[in-house]
Structure 1
Amino acid sequence: MKKQSQVADKVGWTLVPGGGTNESRGGTWIGRVVTISKDSETAHKVLEVIEHVTS
């Protein structure tokens, strides 16, 4: 049996807020937006991961 990921059910995806279905979403049509939840208990570790994967 395959071991389940430690991050299963702990990550999510969403769209950047925009005004409508055919409008720009913050100028990110090519690229990524990575954020840290304000409720994160490990924000410093999340920031390290973000810095690593975007360097």
Structure 2
Amino acid sequence: MTLLLPIFAVIILVAVLVIPVDYWRTGHTKRARLFSLAGLIVLFGYTVYQADQLY
């Protein structure tokens, strides 16, 4: 399970970086903002989880 989490995080990170850019180019700015916000929340949650694992 511990090995899967970083892989999962990388997949999410790629999706979060690629999907909003793609939407932005096609003109779906609202959807791009929504994906960016969701990505930041997921990234923040993952960072907190990793920090929690250290202590």
The alignment's TM-score, normalised by the length of structure 2, stands at 0.29
Higher RCO (CA 8 Å, separation ≥ 6 residues): 2
Greater radius of gyration (CA) = 1
